[in-house]
Chains A and B, each alone.
Chain A
Amino acid sequence: MAGESGSGLTGAAAPEEAAAPAALAATVTGRGRGGEPAGGGPREARARRLRRGLRPWLLLAPALLVLAVLLFWPLVRVLQLSLQDYGLREINTGESNYIGLGNYREILGDSFLWTKVLPNTVVFALACVLLTVAFGTLVALLLQRLGRVWRTICSSVIMMAWAMPAVTGTYVWIWVFDPLDGVVSGGLDALGLIDPEQTNWFTDRWAFYAIAALNVVHHGFPFVAVTVYAALLTIPRELPEAALMDGANAWQRFWRITVPVIRPVFLVVTILSTIWDFKVFAQVYLMPGGAGSNEDVLNLGVWSYIQSFSRNEYGMGSAIAVLLTLLLLGITVLYIRLLSRERDEL
């Protein structure tokens, strides 16, 4: 039916159609610029304009409806739940039990959040993002230098790391670092560095997160490597060649040419890695002690899950989830502003 209304129009309708989604995208990135196309005459023209304005929305409606059902409604429910003391009893009766900002007050007033959960989440995520982007970039630079055969081999291997589901990967890393029978402890034992019977890496906060970081970086770097490699291919060959003629070494060429040219790509992979690394769940939850029995290693995601589904305090769990979302939104907005400033400069 959306098509019907437009069937009388000619190709001239196309630019306006594009305008609405573009305007939508522009407002999302904070750079609105849309304007009304100049209308012709009296009523008929206005009606036509209305129809034209409506049409993209009609076309978007199914997708928006699906999004509303699948994304927007759950979001609203989480917000609602975060303002309630909501347990099994409420689930059974379907009643609401609003307590205002009580959950938030309790969480923010808990020193546990500030000394354990938040540092675990933030420091871990920052370290992982840094390592993922750095390692991914190094691999991309390597791929660029390799011949075709080795490049194919390397990228296939990288893809395998990427394709491995997080749960499987986590179990592999647990197995690698098993304190008693693992490969690592076996090796260190053979070297006489540790006594496996006295070792348990999973109980120590730093060792626990070091293993989790290995897991997350291993799972995350292929995306960075592939994306940065693709970006490297877009650098005009004249630039590094000219620099080479001027006597710039590899280090200078990387920082003076490669980085500035593909900076937007770096920003994008950093944003995405940040979002992913802030909300790691399976990689921590599945590790020994990670599901709550070791309070030292809880992060925001696992804490929210435990509050909701182990303690049946769905309101509290939702409030933690909302805080995590706000944190991520804040970081994303920061990045996007950086990105758009970048684009303006170009």
Chain B
Amino acid sequence: MLHTPMGRPPLRRARRLVAGAAAVLSLGALTACGDDGGDGGDSLQLWIMEGTNPDAEPYVESLKEAFEEQTGATLDVQFIQWADAHDKITTAMAGDELPDVAEIGTTWAPEFGAAGALTDLSETIESEGLADDLVPALREAATVDGAVYGMPWYAGTRSLMYRKDIFEEHGLQAPTTWDELRDVALQLKELEPDMIPFPVIGGGEYSVDAFIWGAGGQIAEQDGDQWHSTINSPEAVEGIDFYTSLATEDDVSVAAASTWLETDQLESFQNGQSAMVINGNWTVNTLLADDPSWADKIGVVPIPGPEGGFSPSFVGGSLLGEFNSDQPDLAWDLIELMSTGDFASQWAESSGYFPGQQSLLDAVVAENDPLVAPFAQQMSEAGASVPVTEAYGTIQGDQVVTRMVQEILSGDASVQEAADEAAASMDETFGG
């Protein structure tokens, strides 16, 4: 290839090749150190997730202005995708290019905290007098061995969503106990044969978690420093058994749902297939944006408890974490600005989530919007968090709980067998 027909090397081309390769290499070198600029001087870098808030742009603009006015420092905001945010933060950690402040999922705080990448904010939160005004489940989720690895920013939870129009048509009542849930699902099976009364999904952990907690069980418990799984305890098994028996015995779900993710479940609700689903409060906005007439068709109640009351539901959301910024005071100013007061409630309102401050959440409950208040009630009265330990991040990555549900739904294992297996798998990760 480097020869002309004369057998002489084409000098000019060779030179061009060398120059080209040099250019490619130096380009690589440039991009490798291109991101360092944001850290220096009076500028702060912030990463937030894209897509949570449809009106993010104007929010960010006014946040930048307010921040500059308050501190004199400029703010550099980058949007990242939820789907690859975890990988992106890990990569940035490896390349030493972490932002000063970033939005992180509540379940990531223990991992990144234990890795030493996040700053412990407990003292600052305490001294600012904010500690008592945080939504308990969120605060719990951010706290590992007394250290608080992030300030609650916004959160959401899952409750029971049902087709109000269909329930009214047949004179059915929203369930308030597990037996009622089963009965109403069985009735729907008769009354609406083309619908799926209540999909039991195998691709999402948080539905079955609610029933484990509702029955009084726990996924895992901490004993001193040591965690051990209790997902195979009698109470937890009772919850798993109830949830999966809706599919395996009562047949009010479909086989396809055993590999459904939460998004598939939402889709089945959205296209009119499912009558009842356990879905997050943020999905209400998705439905309404798609078709405003959903407002008259959706009913929401907190997930019922076995004999009344509520089954606790996972409170998931975002924390604002400080990644060992070299300007910690400035970073805290930003975190406080975003997570309290006007900016916090404004973000929560336009994103369809709830603020992480209890006083702001109480205000939402008081408004009594039928599509919002039940979720808010679920969050403040029956919110829960998954085991707060680095190891549980690994367990979730390993999909231990969803695997357990799938095994039961596909008939590969009995409830107790699958739960024992899941507990053994968790204990191996906990190192028990």
A→B interface (CB under 8 Å): 1-3, 6-7, 10-11, 13-14, 17-18, 59, 62-63, 65-66, 69, 87-89, 91-94, 178-180, 196-200, 202-204, 288-289, 291-295, 306, 309-313
B3 and A3 form a contact (CB under 8 A): no
B259 and A288 form a contact (CB under 8 A): yes
**Whole-angstrom distance between the alpha carbons of A313 and B111 in the complex?**
12
A200 and B9 form a contact (CB under 8 A): no
* 7 extra A-B contacts, CB within 8 A, seeds A59-B14, A92-B93, A289-B259: A62-B25, A65-B21, A88-B93, A89-B114, A180-B256, A196-B256, A310-B397
User: Number of residues in B with C-beta < 8 Å to the partner?
Assistant: 48
A306 and B397 form a contact (CB under 8 A): yes
22 contacting pairs across A/B (C-beta < 8 A): A14-B7, A17-B9, A59-B2, A62-B17, A62-B18, A62-B20, A65-B25, A69-B28, A88-B111, A88-B117, A94-B96, A178-B256, A180-B273, A200-B259, A203-B406, A288-B259, A289-B406, A291-B399, A292-B403, A293-B403, A310-B394, A312-B111
Interface flags, B376-397, vs A, CB<8A=1, else 0: 0000000000000010011001
Q: Give the shortest distance, in Å, between A80 (CB) and chain B (any CB).
A: 14
For chain B residues 251-306, which have a beta carbon within 8 Å of chain A? 254-256, 258-260, 273
Q: Is B402 an interface residue (CB 8 A)?
A: yes
**Whole-angstrom distance between the alpha carbons of A334 and B115 in the complex?**
44
B111 and A3 form a contact (CB under 8 A): no
List residues of chain A with CB within 8 A of the CB of B211.
Answer: none
A7 and B11 form a contact (CB under 8 A): yes
For chain B residues 84-128, which have a beta carbon within 8 Å of chain A? 87, 90, 93-94, 96, 111-112, 114-117
Q: Give the shortest distance, in Å, between A22 (CB) and chain B (any CB).
A: 12
B114 and A66 form a contact (CB under 8 A): no
Q: Lowest 9 A-B CB distances belong to which pairs?
A: A62-B21, A310-B397, A288-B259, A88-B115, A3-B11, A14-B7, A11-B7, A200-B255, A179-B256
Q: Is B363 an interface residue (CB 8 A)?
A: no
Supposing A3-B15, A69-B28 touch, asked if A92 and B116 sit within 8 A by C-beta, the answer is: yes
Q: Is B410 an interface residue (CB 8 A)?
A: yes
**Whole-angstrom distance between the alpha carbons of A310 and B399 in the complex?**
9
Which chain B residue lies CB-closest to A11?
Answer: B7
Which chain B residue lies CB-closest to A309?
Answer: B87
Of A3, A10, A313, chain B has the most CB atoms within 10 Å of the CB of A3
Q: Is B172 an interface residue (CB 8 A)?
A: no
